[in-house]
Amino acid sequence: MTEQATAAARSAPDFTDLVRLEHVQKYFGAVHALRDINLRIGPNEIVGLIGDNGAGKSTLIKTMTGVLKPSSGRIFVRDKELPLSDYSVRMAHDLSIETVYQDKSLGEKQPLWRNFFVGRQIVNRWGFIDVKREKEIANDILLNTIGFRGVGIGVDSTIANLSGGERQGIAIGRAMHYDADLIILDEPTAALGVAEVRKVVDFVRRIKSSGRSCVYIEHNLAHVHEVADRLIVLDRGAIVSDISPRDMSVVELTEYLIDLQHKN
Amino acid sequence: MAIQTPSRPGIMSRIEGAPIIAVFLVLLALFMWLSPQVFLQPYQYTTFLSTLPPIILLAVGLTFVIGAGEIDLCFPAILGFSGYIFAVIFKEGQADIVAWLGASDSDWIASPLAGAIIQWSAVPASLLAGVLVGYVNGVLVANIGIPSFIATLGTQFFWYGVASILSGGKSYALRGAEDSSVWQVIVGRPFASSSVDWLQQVPIQALWTGIIVVVMWFVLNRHRFGEHMLFLGDSNAVAAVVGIDVRREKRKLFTLMGFLAAIASIFLTLENKNYFGNQGQGYLLIAIASVLIGGTSIFGGRATVIGTLFGCFIIAIVEPGLVAAGLTGSWVNAVRGLIFLIAIVFYLYVDEPQRRRSLRARFARLTSFGRAGPVE
């Protein structure tokens, strides 16, 4: 399926919000990590999530993707409320939500093809993996979804031998392969070189043009400003503003964030 | 984008365990040259076929455990505990049941058929005991979060203690075991009536062990479970975010180890026709050394069943090799230790340079062997 066709198929969703969080609270012991979070992610929307270290960005997305359970509140996916006690990473995968973590998404010593399928292997009824088919599909993702051509990377390459940008490409390509409606990127450009960052930003654009949604956590305001439809600012566990990048330049945004730090 | 092009893999990396197979062949050739009277005769090899199976089963189980970044020190106690369960039911089960029922010698329960059934029931009972011990280890590590090194050290003490309490410190000589169908099927000599003298001694447990090794190779390399073990060994955090149920898979891992150790305990007890309370204590270091000599990563994430198999062969061949060459038995462990250390250094520096970094990082952080428990 081409990206255009996929986008067309996604053009008429029968829901208003892909993901909606209502009054979500999260405590770690006495620490109030998320304070009354109300957030909605629309279809085909790129939402930038920004905030200082420790503002709760990672906690928020982990809560959204079933890694952490919220202390209270409600989570809706495609307008349907989730049973929070059963919510897990697997369930998020089934709901077509994929997460690409900073550096914890890929098994370093494992070959590419295993990384594409781990957790969702193509197996026969006894649980044995169809290695040939997995490799074929992995090769297809490499060439067509990620666009690695002639760079000496194959399905048997070990992740440890890839550059940071290539790893992000693999992780994002995996998410796109699973036809995720929502791809969550947790600081994908941390520790990347300039050329590699361009590549990741291009991946985010691909997410948008293929009709999917994306939550993009980023330290570098210029990168996120460039691709996001909407910017959510988190501060000390609470959402403090919801900004359209059209209304605020990168410089203004930077000043706003610095002011926010001084205010408190 | 600067990428290092992966060069075409050499023969050493295309064949699983190739370096260690080469080392084994060199050692074998050396011993054949030094002591042709032993190593060019079949008898030494038929002896291996009966002594190696328990070690191989333990080492293959440990390949999974170490590959998953954990360690199990409890398995020698499973040889003791499961072996006790097996021996006591095998030897005294029928007599105890007859006495408990107050049955007479003419009752069915006292018949040879009932005796055979009770002896056979020792097999599942012993396996169940091993599975139980392994599962408890899994719960301690996965759910309670005790580092596996500590948890299984504790359970090793505990289960040896339990076996000792139950057996009262006695050993059980299984005299006449070779007449039972259990013995015939599990550790029998299928060619006993052959006219070739060494063939008479070929034991059937070598076949069973071979089948188990092949199955475990497929489980590690081709099954979902094996892949989960490798990802767990790579990183528990990655395993969790790709949707692996870290706790459940670790419970399964230790349960599998318990199961394989229980099979080993049955082989050992039947082959020796004897159970003694601290049986298995000599296997701890031998089994771990075999796995690491074979090339399974001490940091987890990489594991090789074939390497482990040849690691076992190397560990086993050293003893008769040195003794036949005229050295005393005292040399055996020193040479084994030397081979072990050379192998570790080889894998660290030649096979995978990134291990050096993680070794330094590990010592810098002063973390223990085995990860500190479940992630978040």
Whether A199 sits inside 8 A of B2 (CB atoms) is: no
Which of A:122-151 have CB within 8 Å of B? 123, 126-129, 131, 151
Q: What is the DSSP letter of B178?
A: G
A110 touches chain B (CB under 8 A): yes
* Helices marked H in B35-74: 36-39, 43-67
Inter-chain CB proximity A109 and B224 less than 8 Å = no
Ranges A12-16, A163-167, A235-239, A242-246: which has the least confidence: A12-16
Q: What is the dihedral of CA A87, A92, A94, A97, to 10 degrees?
A: 160
The answer to whether the beta carbons of residues B75 and B61 sit under 8 Å apart is yes
Would the CB atoms of A118 and B227 count as touching at under 8 Å? yes
Strand, coil or helix: what is B198? helix
| A166 shares contact with chain B (CB less than 8 Å) | yes
Is residue B373 assigned to a domain? no
Cα–Cα distance measured from residue B224 to residue A14, given in angstroms and rounded to the nearest whole number: 36
Query: Is residue A105 very low, low, confident or very high in pLDDT (cuts 50, 70, 90)?
Result: confident
What residue has token string 């594409």?
A: A116
Rounded Cα distance between B205 and B49, Å, is: 8
Q: Between B227, B234, B241, which is nearest A108 by CB? A: B234
A152 with B6: Cβ contact below 8 A: yes
pLDDT of residue B5: 42
- The C-alpha of B242 sits at a distance from chain A's nearest C-alpha, in angstroms, of 6
CA proximity to A70, closest of A38, A27, A30: A27
Question: pLDDT value at position B4?
Answer: 40
Considering only CB atoms, A127 lies closest to which of B6, B225, B235, namely B225
CB of B244 within 8 Å of a chain A CB? The answer is yes
Calculate mean pLDDT across residues A176-201: 81
Q: Alpha-carbon distance A219 to A236, whole Å?
A: 16
Instruction: Give the separation between CA B52 and CA B74, rounded to whole angstroms.
Output: 20
B73, two tokens: 């020190």
Q: Determine how many CB atoms are found less than 10 A away from the CB of residue B20.
A: 24
Q: Which of A120, A126, A154 sits opposite B243 (nearest CB)?
A: A120
**How near does any CA of chain A get to the CA of B57, in Å?**
21
The yes-or-no verdict on residue B105 having pLDDT over 60 is yes
Distances (CA, A) of B272 to A24, A223, B76, B261, B283: 64, 70, 16, 16, 15
CB A23 within 8 A of CB A73: yes
Q: Which amino acid is at A78?
A: R
Which ipTM was obtained for this model? 0.79
| Chain B residues inside the 8 Å CB shell of A163 | 1-3
Q: Which residues pair with A217 in a beta bridge?
A: A49, A186
Q: Quote the minimal CA–CA distance from B224 to chain A in Å.
A: 6
Does A12 touch chain B if contact means CB atoms closer than 8 Å? no
Which neighbouring-strand residues pair with B142? Answer: none
B231 touches chain A (CB under 8 A): yes
Residue B375 placed within a domain: no
CA-to-CA distance for B294 and B56, rounded, in angstroms? Answer: 12
Chain A CB contacts of B1 under 8 Å are: 151, 163, 165-166, 195-196, 199
Could you tell me how many CB contacts below 8 A there are between chain A and chain B? 97
Fold type of domain A3-109+158-263: Rossmann fold (3.40.50)
A159/A227 Cα distance (integer angstroms): 27
Dist. CA B340–CA B290, nearest whole Å: 8
d(CA B222, CA B216) in angstroms, rounded, equals 10
**pLDDT (mean) for A83-90:** 83
Which tokens in the block code for residue A24? 């979500």
Share of residues in chain B with pLDDT > 90 (%): 53
- How far apart are the C-alpha atoms of A93 and A78, rounded to whole Å? 14
Are B242 and A118 an interchain contact pair (Cβ–Cβ within 8 Å)? yes
Minimal CA separation from A219 to chain B, in Å: 22
pLDDT of residue B261: 96
The two tokens of residue B158 are 């505990």
pLDDT in tens, B120-174: 999 999 999 999 999 999 999 999 999 999 999 999 999 999 998 998 888 888 8
Contacts of B157 (CB under 8 A, 6+ apart): B77
Mean pLDDT of B183-202: 87
Return the amino acid letter for A61. I
Residue B102's domain is classified under what CATH number? 1.10.3470
Cα three-residue angle A50-A55-A60, rounded to 5 degrees: 80
Mean pLDDT of chain B: 87
B3 and A163: CB-CB below 8 Å? yes
- For residue A149, name the pLDDT band (cuts at 50, 70, 90): low
Residues in chain A within 8 Å Cβ distance of B69: none
Inside any domain, residue B22:
yes
Helix (H) or strand (E) holding B268: helix B246-272
Contact between B264 and B270 under an 8 Å Cβ cutoff? The reply is: no
Count of domains observed in chain B: 1
Q: Where are the domains of chain A?
A: 3-109+158-263
Contact check, Cβ <8 Å, B4/A161: yes
Q: How many CB atoms lie within 10 A of CB A82?
A: 16
Contacts with A114 from chain B: Cβ below 8 Å: 227, 230-231
Cβ neighbours of A123 in B, within 8 Å: 223-224
- Predicted TM-score (pTM) of this structure: 0.83
**HSE, side-chain direction, 13 A CA sphere, residue A249:** 2
The whole-angstrom distance between A113's CA and the closest CA on chain B is 11
C-alpha–C-alpha distance, residues B366 and B360, integer Å:
10
Of B6, B222, B225, the CB nearest to A161: B6
Indicate the pLDDT class of residue B365, thresholds 50, 70 and 90: low
DSSP for B108-161 reads GGGSHHHHHHHHHHHHHHHHHHHHHHHHHHHIIIIIS---HHHHHHHHHHHHHH
HEC assignment per residue over chain A = CCHHHHHHHCCCCCCCCCEEEEEEEEEECCEEEEEEEEEEECCCCEEEEECCCCCCHHHHHHHHCCCCCCCEEEEEECCEECCCCCCCHHHHHHCCEEEECCCCCCCCCCEHHHHHHCCCCCECCCCEECHHHHHHHHHHHHHHHHCCCCCCCCCCCEHHHCCHHHHHHHHHHHHHHCCCCEEEEECCCCCCCHHHHHHHHHHHHHHHHCCCEEEEECCCHHHHHHHCCEEEEEECCEEEEEECHHHCCHHHHHHHHHHHHHHC
In-domain check, residue B3: no
Tokens of B51: 């002594």
**Residue A68 sits at the chain B interface (C-beta within 8 Å):** yes
CB B257 within 8 A of CB B64: yes
